Amino acid sequence: MSDIKVEGYKTSVILATLGQVFEGYSDEERAAQLKKNNGVFEFRVKDAAGKEASWTIDLKKTGTVKKGEAKSLGLKPDVTIILSDETFVDLADGKTTGQKAFMTGALKTKGNMMLATKLDGVLKSAKGRTKL
């Protein structure tokens, strides 16, 4: 998964895990995920130094995570999510929600905002959940 990781971005670690999760889906699980989310998410993540890196999650056709802007991958982003590395980590850890981050301005979107509301669910699946 080294092709997803970018030095200095915690986001990339989480996205790499997420990529593994997607890869681990059986065909029916993947089909269910695609049906549920049905969109191309583009992320533009700024690190502490203000440098920007991009990743794209395709949950429309292939169910994959890739580095780079959607355009460079030959995809059209349904929603572009602009946020900081820190916010991304908080989202994945469940410390904040997409809505909260959006309301406080920590997260900005371009495109279909309704899709962005599914972000929480997508990111949560990066982490395994233990059971009671």
User: For binding to another protein (CB under 8 A), which residues are involved?
Assistant: 17, 20-21, 23-26, 28-29, 32, 36, 76, 78, 93-94, 112, 114-115, 117-118, 120-121, 124-125, 127-132
Complex with another protein: residue 53 or 122, whichever CB lies closer: 122
Complex with another protein: residue 34 or 46, whichever CB lies closer: 34
For the CB of residue 20, give the shortest distance to another protein in the complex, in Å.
Answer: 4
DSSP H helical ranges for 8-53: 10-24, 27-37
Is 97 in contact with 120 (CB distance < 8 Å)? yes
DSSP 3-state assignment of 89? helix
Complex with another protein: residue 48 or 114, whichever CB lies closer: 114
For the CB of residue 94, give the shortest distance to another protein in the complex, in Å.
Answer: 7
